[in-house]
Amino acid sequence: MPSNLTLYTVAEIRQIEHAAFATCPSYTLMQRAGTAAADYARQLLADHDGGATILVLVGPGNNGGDALEAASQLANSGWDVAIHFSCDPARLPADAQQALLRAQDSPAHVIHDILPTHNDWALVLDGLFGIGLTRPITGDIARLIEYINNLHCPVLALDVPSGLDADTGMIVDANAFIPGDGRAAAIRATHTITFIGNKAGLHTCDGRDYAGQVQVSDLGLEAALYPPSSSQLNHVELFANTLQHRRQNSHKGSYGDVSVLGGAHGMVGAAVLAARTAAKSGAGRVFIAGIDEALNYDNAQPELMCRRAADFDFNSATIVAGPGLGTSRDAHDFLLQALAANVPLVLDADALNLIAVESGLQQKLLSRKALSLLTPHPLEAARLLGISNSLIQADRLAAARTIAKKFNAVTILKGSGSVIAAPDGAVVINTTGNPALATAGAGDVLSGLCGALLAQKWPVWEAALAAVWLHGKAADNLVASGIGPIGVTASELIPEIRAVLNQLVSRQHSPR
């Protein structure tokens, strides 16, 4: 069976569903979906005394059918179930009509008007819309969603939180302001059970905020029905074989050199953060090639070797270009030297902004023989593609793929559910991290970590996957230990990253 970590587009899910109907009656799938939803609901209610009521929201399509099937199973097993239709039940599609008959034969009851004072639900099942949502949710259904989002009980979304685009993780037409109806709405679920296959939109952009904890139910479909997928969720197994155990007989030269090109006047801290991260992520030696006056030394990290960029040989180390680089003429000229160097190169921040506005630098990047790794946040990505930030966020997977292909470089598009893309179209969505990373310097830390792994001879794809995973996991560990997410500073990530990296190496190389 395809792993739950493999991601499928809505089109691919439709293709699988269609193929499945050839071998099993479509209602069978809906029954299995309803069973999976009911089973998950029971798990979420395990500690509940069974006294309260489950509210089941039914929309106009087969997502509503799944919900009706779940409702009848829960009602038949003793739960008090209230069904609320956001549509005319008579117009439900055929499969959902079957589920409706089963619900009508069950003890479930229909509730027409949900009063704002109603707030003692044990659980809400969201069966309003699934992958068939085609336009923003507005009007009465949007008002219903606003009511649901203000409840404090678990909300289990069936297949997709209603209102969310299953491919992109955007709220459908979130940017559209619908006159008279306000902003488009989406269910903010605490949990989502998604059917047939996992979906990118549940894990990136708004997906992590609106889908909550995601469980996948393959509805018992055989693997042969699933097309090959070029998208998956990040996980340690994707880079575990690259985790290097250190031999006793080694020295600092065994672990490579990193040079951070940046640190313009007033922005030295960015370069220091990247360099400190590189040092604590295993690089043998770390230099800061400052483009203005050379930083004398880093008092807190005297191991860092500070040089003037003008005196630095860019062919002597893996380069992390961008942290605090600025966009001056000097910055441009030193970046040109870095692009020309035959060494691994991480391009972040102002290095990306300079490349975005000059085709000569873009040509230089494209003509590189050594590997490059780009680490844009959405606004830097927008500049690289000459489009708006909201268009980048509207389809993060497409944006990351486009940049990777345009510049022939592995690209990390940062943000909630960072997207790592390869020039060949492969995409991985990261699963670690939290709002603690929304702090100045977190990007500098990530670029320094990327540089350190590349200096230690990690292949660029595995280096990108590992760096993003470690960076997010460090933030998760800080929050789990009671620090943050509010107020975490980028510097605090650095020792955590080192700890997680060493834990992974020990686990990978401990005797079985």
Ligand X SMILES: NC(=O)C1=CN([C@@H]2O[C@H](COP(=O)(O)OP(=O)(O)OC[C@H]3O[C@@H](n4cnc5c(N)ncnc54)[C@H](OP(=O)(O)O)[C@@H]3O)[C@@H](O)[C@H]2O)[C@H](O)CC1
**Binding residues for ligand X restricted to 26-65, rule: CB under 6 A:** 26, 29-30, 33, 59-64
Q: Which is nearer to K ion, 148 or 157 (CB)?
A: 157
> SS3 for 458?
coil
**Interface contacts to K ion, rule CB under 5 A:** 63, 126, 157-158, 162
Binding to ligand X by residue 137, rule CB under 6 A?
A: yes
Residues 84/111, Cβ–Cβ less than 8 Å: yes
User: Of 25-33, 250-258, 317-325, 338-346, which part binds ligand X (CB under 6 A)?
Assistant: 25-33
> Of all helices (H) and strands (E), which one includes residue 43?
helix 26-44
User: Of 126-134, 297-305, 440-448, 458-466, which part binds ligand X (CB under 6 A)?
Assistant: 126-134
Binding to ligand X by residue 193, rule CB under 6 A?
A: no
The answer to whether the annotation marks 418 as part of a ligand binding site is yes
Residue 249, token pair as written in the block: 């007989």
Among candidates 45, 48, 96, 29, which has minimal Cα distance to 68?
96
Residues 39/66, Cβ–Cβ less than 8 Å: no
62 binds, among ligand X, K ion, none (CB under 5 to 8 A by kind): ligand X
126 binds, among K ion, ligand X, none (CB under 5 to 8 A by kind): K ion
> Among 66, 126, 206, 218, which residue sits at the site for ligand X (rule: CB under 6 A)?
66
Binding to ligand X by residue 126, rule CB under 6 A?
A: no
Binding to ligand X by residue 214, rule CB under 6 A?
A: no
Among candidates 461, 456, 459, 460, which has minimal Cα distance to 501?
456
Residue 349, token pair as written in the block: 């921040």
The answer to whether the annotation marks 253 as part of a ligand binding site is no
Cβ atoms < 10 Å from Cβ of 147: 15
> Of all helices (H) and strands (E), which one includes residue 380?
helix 378-385
Nearest approach, Cβ of residue 286 and ligand X (Å): 50
Residues 440/450, Cβ–Cβ less than 8 Å: no
Q: Which is nearer to ligand X, 59 or 344 (CB)?
A: 59
> Among 38, 55, 106, 130, which residue sits at the site for ligand X (rule: CB under 6 A)?
130
Q: How far apart are CA 50 and CA 509, in angstroms?
A: 48
157 binds, among K ion, ligand X, none (CB under 5 to 8 A by kind): K ion
| Omega cis (within 30) before 376 | no
Dihedral angle, C-alpha 347, 350, 356, 358, nearest 10 °: -100
The answer to whether the annotation marks 324 as part of a ligand binding site is yes
| Omega cis (within 30) before 179 | no
Helices and strands per DSSP (H, E), number in the chain:
16, 19
The answer to whether the annotation marks 136 as part of a ligand binding site is yes
> Of all helices (H) and strands (E), which one includes residue 261?
strand 257-262
> Of all helices (H) and strands (E), which one includes residue 408?
none
Nearest approach, Cβ of residue 55 and K ion (Å): 13
Nearest approach, Cβ of residue 31 and ligand X (Å): 9
Binding to ligand X by residue 165, rule CB under 6 A?
A: no
Residue 203, token pair as written in the block: 């894990």
User: Of 130-138, 266-274, 355-363, 383-391, which part binds ligand X (CB under 6 A)?
Assistant: 130-138
Q: Which is nearer to ligand X, 137 or 428 (CB)?
A: 137
55 binds, among K ion, ligand X, none (CB under 5 to 8 A by kind): none
* Residues tagged in the binding site annotation: 62-66, 126, 130-136, 159, 162, 270, 324, 377, 414-418, 443-444
Q: Which residues bind ligand X (CB under 6 A)?
A: 17, 26, 29-30, 33, 59-64, 66, 93, 95, 129-137, 158-159, 195
